[in-house]
Amino acid sequence: MSTTTVEREISVEPAALTAWAEGRTIFIELTDGRIIGFPADRFRILKNATNEQLKEVTLRLDGYALRWESLDEDITVPGVVAGNFQLPYEPAAKQQIHHHKKAKESKK
Tens of pLDDT, residue by residue over 23-76, are: 999 999 999 999 999 999 989 999 999 999 999 999 999 999 999 999 999 999
pLDDT at 33: 94
The confidence score (pLDDT) of residue 27 equals 97
pLDDT of residue 23: 94
| Domains of the chain: total | 1
Half-sphere exposure of 28 (CA within 13 A, CB side): 26
Residue 62 falls inside a structural domain: yes
DSSP state of 90: -
User: What's this model's pTM, rounded to 2 decimal places?
Assistant: 0.73
**Residue 17 phi, psi dihedral angles, 5° rounding:** -90, -40
Strand-pair partners of 3: none
The parent domain of residue 83 ranges over 16-107
Task: Decide if 22 is inside a domain.
Answer: yes
**Any domain includes 68:** yes
Asked, for residue 6, whether it belongs to a domain, the answer is no
Angstrom CA distances, 59 to 13, 14, 103, stand at: 16, 13, 29
32 assigned to some structural domain: yes
Q: Is residue 9 part of a domain?
A: no
pLDDT of residue 26: 95
Is residue 3 situated within a structural domain?
no
CATH number assigned to the domain comprising residue 92: 3.30.2020.40
Determine, yes or no, domain membership for 51. Answer: yes
Question: What are the angstrom distances between the C-alpha of 83 and each of 36, 37, 43, 88, 104?
Answer: 11, 11, 12, 11, 32
Is the predicted pLDDT of residue 10 greater than 60, yes or no? no
State the Cα–Cα distance between residues 25 and 14, nearest whole angstrom.
20
